[in-house]
Each structure stands twice: as structure tokens, then as C-alpha cells.
Amino acid sequence: MADTRIEAVAQDRGAGREFNFSLEHFKAISTRIYDFAGIRLTEAKREMVYARLARRLRSLGIDSFDNYIRYLELEPAEWEHCTNALTTNVTAFYREPHHFDILAKHAAEADAMQTYRVWSAGCSSGEEPYTIAMCLAESRPEGRFEVVASDLDTQVIAHGREGIYPLESVMALTAERQKRFFLRGTGRNSGHARVRRELASHVEFLRVNLMDDRWPALGEFDAIFCRNVMIYFDKATQRRLVERYAGLLRPNGLFFAGHAESLLDSGHRFRLRGQTVYELVRGAAA
């Protein structure tokens, strides 16, 4: 009797759906997404997975999840599009502004003769790395700074590299920053603003899958931003990432986490410097 009820509930969950999406479909996709991108999808996310991937099926003209899973096996590049569909890119200029107060002070106190370098890991559509660049332009007037901006999603990387944003998002900045760092669009570009080349020249966009065994040669950094990215990963994956980040930081380097993330279980590597800001423990760099 219990099994019959479970089966009836399962059938009800799928009632009215455009595509059949069984637990087996969900498990097949969630297992591979974990292998590909380190993202852990619990069964509580099943309805979200269906809703977002159903749009993908429609855009590809695929008529069932059976055929979509076959397509994923035949076209490995589709896993990137699948992952892009399942992750949320929410960002804004100067999001969590207290982070940039700490970054500005850290950068201003660094060796003026050395290039100050920051990695924005999980940069989304570019608002974060351009905010970092604005912050460094103000705190390091000699111009010795670089920002590496990376993401798994090639579409948001392309958006960030283009550097064009809705005017309303730019208008949230101070008038001084709007004038110094952006050009307002006219004609068909009306309602948008472009990052000035002087600022954009300090930002390099590239694709990095944080789950890859080997990352591109990124060099050392004075600060790393990985905000609201690790929440997608399980604890073991988070710990591995933190170890790798620590190995890329210069002595006394800073790590900026998201508001729902914590490095307090990595005390041998980092100590708390401010709200969700951590400083590399002296001598802890690999």
C-alpha cells in the first residue's frame, strides 16, 4: 500500500508537465553536473532543474529528457550550457560594499612599485571585476594593478568582456564614478553605458572551470574574490578549493567570501579580517 501511494505521488508531481522528468532523469543529470562543475543538486532542487532545463529542451527542439540525456552524451559541450542554465548569476556594482572598503585599504598599503593583482573567481557578467578595478584605480593612482575575471559560463564572460550595462545599474554609482569610468550610450545604445577603455584595459576575462585538475597559469594574487560560488559545492569540494586559493595568494593576501559562506574551518590557512573577509595566515601560502 505504501509503495502504491509513493507511486501515485510521483505521478502527481509530473502531472501537467510538458516533458516527463523522472527521478532517474534527475539523478543522471545531477550526478554529471557534480562531476563536471562540482555543483551539488539535492532532490529538493528537482523542480528547479526541470523548469530551467525544459527551456533548454525547447530551444534545442528536443522532445524528451531521454533524448536530452542522449544528446548530452553525444555533445559534451552541452554540459556547459546545462550548467549555465542551472546556476544563477545575480550581481551588481559594489555589491557588499564593505568588502571594497577593506580592499581599498589593503591595496593602498601594498608596495606601490609592485603590480597589485586580484582574481574575481565566478565573475558573472562583470560587475564584480569592474568594481574591483574602480576600487583599485582610486586606491592605486599610479595604475599598477591587474584584475583576472573568470567564470564557467562563456555567455556571461562575453558580456563582461563587452563591458556594456543598463544605465540604471550604472546610475547606482556616485556621479564621480559614472563620469570617470563609464561612457553613456547614444542613439541605438541609449539606455546603456560602456566601461571606459582605460579601466577595461586592467581587466582580463577568461573561462576557468574551478573543478578542473589544472587551472591556467594565473600567477600570484594579493586578493581573491570567490563570493556566492562555493555555496553550490559540498564541504569536501569547498575545502579543496580553499587550499588551492591559499596557494595562489601572496603573504598577507585577502580572500573575500559571500555573505552565506565561511572559511572558519580553515583556520590553519586563514584568519578573519572583517565580515566574510579572510587574511592568509603568515607562512601558510603553498
162 within some domain:
yes
Asked whether residue 191 falls in the same domain as residue 246, the answer is yes
8 within some domain:
yes
Task: Report the binding-site residues for S-adenosyl-L-methionine.
Answer: 89, 91, 95, 128, 151, 209-210, 227-228
The pLDDT assigned to 264 comes to: 61
Domain boundary among 61, 86, 111: 86
The pLDDT assigned to 114 comes to: 96
159: pLDDT confidence band, cut at 50, 70 and 90?
A: very high
Tell how strand 221-226 and strand 116-121 pair up: parallel
Asked whether residue 75 falls in the same domain as residue 195, the answer is no
Q: In sequence order, what are the residues at sequence separation of 6 or more whose Cβ sits closer than 8 angstroms to the Cβ of residue 67?
A: none
The per-residue pLDDT for range 67-99, each reduced to its tens digit, is: 999 999 898 888 878 887 887 666 789 999 999
Domain boundary among 55, 86, 117: 86
The per-residue pLDDT for range 175-220, each reduced to its tens digit, is: 999 999 999 988 888 899 999 999 999 999 999 999 999 999 999 9
52 included as an active-site residue: yes
92 within some domain:
no
Mean pLDDT, residues 51-62 taken together: 93
Asked whether residue 74 falls in the same domain as residue 126, the answer is no
Q: What per-residue string of b and e applies to 147-182 under the rule 16 or more CB within 10 Å gives b?
A: bbbbbbbeebbebbeebbbeeeebeebeeebbeebb
Asked whether residue 132 falls in the same domain as residue 174, the answer is yes
Strands of the sheet containing 164-166, edge to edge, are 164-166, 192-195, 182-184
91 within some domain:
no
The pLDDT assigned to 212 comes to: 92
In this structure, of 112-116, 252-256, 268-272, the range with the lowest mean pLDDT score is 268-272
CA quadruple 113, 116, 117, 123: dihedral, nearest 10:
-150
Domain boundary among 41, 65, 86: 86
In percent, the amount of the chain with pLDDT more than 70 equals 91
Strands of the sheet containing 203-207, edge to edge, are 203-207, 145-151, 116-121, 221-226, 249-257, 277-280, 270-274
Average pLDDT, the chain: 88
Among 142-146, 185-189, 230-234, 282-286, the range of highest mean pLDDT: 142-146
Asked whether residue 141 falls in the same domain as residue 168, the answer is yes
Query: To 5 degrees, how large is the angle CA 38–CA 264–CA 99?
Result: 85
In percent, the amount of the chain with pLDDT more than 90 equals 64
Taking the C-alpha atoms of residue 175 and residue 187, their distance in angstroms, rounded to an integer, is 22
239 within some domain:
yes
* Structural domain containing residue 170: 98-280
Asked whether residue 75 falls in the same domain as residue 130, the answer is no
207 included as an active-site residue: no
263, pLDDT greater than 80: no
Domain count for the chain: 2
Annotated catalytic residue: which of 52, 140, 184, 240? 52
Asked whether residue 104 falls in the same domain as residue 69, the answer is no
CATH code for the domain in which residue 121 is found: 3.40.50.150
| 107 or 7, which is more confident | 107
Q: In sequence order, what are the residues at sequence separation of 6 or more whose Cβ sits closer than 8 angstroms to the Cβ of residue 179?
A: none
User: pTM (2 decimals)?
Assistant: 0.78
Q: Which amino acid is residue 262, in one-letter code? A: S
Asked whether residue 254 falls in the same domain as residue 126, the answer is yes
Task: Report the binding-site residues.
Answer: 89, 91, 95, 128, 151, 209-210, 227-228
The answer to whether the CB of 207 falls within 8 A of the CB of 154 is: yes
171 within some domain:
yes
Asked whether residue 78 falls in the same domain as residue 129, the answer is no
Taking the C-alpha atoms of residue 176 and residue 193, their distance in angstroms, rounded to an integer, is 15
Asked whether residue 119 falls in the same domain as residue 202, the answer is yes
Asked whether residue 45 falls in the same domain as residue 161, the answer is no
Which one, of 242, 260, 265, 250, lies nearest residue 116 by Cα? 250
Mean pLDDT, residues 126-137 taken together: 97
Annotated catalytic residue: which of 151, 177, 222, 269? 151
